[in-house]
Amino acid sequence: MSASFASALTAAHEAAAAQHYPQGALYVVATPIGNLADITLRALHVLQLVDAIACEDTRHTQALLRSYGIERPGAQLLALHQHNEQEAAQAVLTRLQAGQRVAYVSDAGTPGVSDPGARLVACVQAAGLRALPLPGASSITSALSVAGAVATTPESNGFVFAGFLPSKTAERACAIAALQPEPRCVLLLEAPHRITDLAQALAVLGTRRITLARELTKQFEEITTLPASAVAPWLAENPQRQRGEFVVLLHPTPLSTDDGASLRVLRVLRLLLAELPLKTAVRLAADITGAARNALYEQALQLKQETTDD
């Protein structure tokens, strides 16, 4: 155990021990996605308190627990992953029905979000038992928080989580075609050995802005935003950029150019950008046209990017 976590265990007890932790309940615990310091005090307390821990990989979880100075005998770690979740859930139910507290952790992040856990929780709820969330690290919300994905219209507010797209070329292309008209922000996940294929497939989105978030919270974390057509060349420039786990975020669709009014707004914005700093141009364009400032700012960024690419 790192000496820095010894005080964290003490703090966890002092901060969380007085709270109520019902017996016969499943505790769904988020764990760090890279940086060990991203564990919560309540998670540390619960991981010491529960009678057993169900986990995606027992060896990985044992190593994680030992990093924090938490020792668990192997019999208290239950393997529950995507290949055995339905059957392993029954073993968890047996413990819960006997009045035990059981935690569930995936290998990283929040269980049930593109990781096992959803079937387990459904089984627990179907049995009339409680599943309690312990929130924490998530690559999805982490990427979204730093992407600067601004909604351009009321319809583009919010986001859609699509997870991993199909690995086969034709199926992936169909999935992207289905997502293309989606006006909201779209979040995808991708593995390093498939990121280049995904980037090439996304090129059909042209100037739509895409944020790549690689190795979030880890030493070689990298976050960049590019037009869809530029993502594959950017990855190819440096092989290091193709390493690690990725969150790929499609920004909300820009202002429509399908009608005359929108074309006039864009023309005003282009003229102002040619003579003024971006923020000033956006402010004046909003005053002149009555268009929403956030939407104009997003469009101005895209216009600037297009000018740079040219």
pLDDT tops 60 at residue 130 = yes
Mean pLDDT of 105-123: 95
CB 210 within 8 A of CB 250: yes
Residue 98's pLDDT band (cuts 50, 70, 90): very high
Mean pLDDT of 180-193: 94
Report which of 109, 194, 175, 117 is spatially closest to residue 143, judged by C-alpha positions. 109
Residue 17's pLDDT band (cuts 50, 70, 90): very high
SS3 call for 249: strand
pLDDT tops 80 at residue 151 = yes
Give the per-residue pLDDT at 51. Answer: 98
Rounded to 10 degrees, the C-alpha dihedral 258/147/203/267 comes to 30
Rounded to 10 degrees, the C-alpha dihedral 141/145/151/156 comes to -10
pLDDT tens digits along 230-256: 999 999 999 999 999 999 999 998 765
Distance CA 252, CA 56 (A): 34
Give the per-residue pLDDT at 230. Answer: 95
Instruction: Please spell the DSSP secondary structure of 163-215, one letter per residue.
Output: ESPPSSHHHHHHHHHHHTT--SEEEEEE-GGGHHHHHHHHGGGTT-EEEEEES
- Taking the model in full, what pTM does it have? 0.80
C-alpha distances in Å from residue 156, one per residue of 143, 151, 186, 251, 302: 18, 5, 10, 9, 16
For 293, half-sphere exposure in the C-beta direction (CA atoms, 13 angstrom radius) is 8
Q: Which fold has domain 3-137?
A: Cobalt-precorrin-4 Transmethylase; domain 1 (3.40.1010)
pLDDT tens digits along 30-73: 999 999 999 999 999 999 999 999 999 999 999 999 999 999 99
- Tokens coding 142: 């982490």
Q: Which residue has the higher pLDDT, 104 or 169?
A: 104
Give the per-residue pLDDT at 1. Answer: 46
Residue 146's pLDDT band (cuts 50, 70, 90): very high
| Average pLDDT value for the chain | 91
CATH class of 140-250: alpha beta
Q: What is the DSSP pairing of strand 185-190 with strand 246-250?
A: antiparallel
Which helix (H) or strand (E) is 300 found in, with range?
helix 293-309
Q: Would the CA dihedral through 53, 105, 39, 128 be positive or negative? A: negative
- Per DSSP (E only), the strands in the chain are 25-29, 52-55, 77-79, 102-105, 130-134, 159-163, 185-190, 209-214, 222-227, 246-250
Mean pLDDT of 177-192: 93
